[in-house]
Structure 1
Amino acid sequence: MKTSKGVIQGYNGLAMVDAKHQVIVHAEAFGDGQEQHLLEPMIEGTSKHL
């Protein structure tokens, strides 16, 4: 992941939450800096759990 001091190993932690019951229904860690293309895998993972 790019930072102001160079490149470091890092991860984005994303979670899908049921707002009504305040429960995490799916969570995953990705090694990508950008999150735009991660919506589809998160939706697919949530669908598998529900």
Structure 2
Amino acid sequence: MSKGIRYTDEFKQEAVNQVVVHGYTVLDVSQRLGISNKSLYDWIKRFSESPPVL
């Protein structure tokens, strides 16, 4: 049984975009959204490895 909050793919993608596209730091985005740095780094890695969804 997993614990914690599950975020939608749209939420994750928007968080990643704030870092990759808009140039905010991982620390800024993670603090603003209330998520861990590790989660955001994991999402960045995941979304950069997968092909974009059209």
Structure number having the greater strand percentage: 1
TM-score by length of 2: 0.33
User: Which structure has the bigger radius of gyration?
Assistant: 1
TM-score by length of 1: 0.34
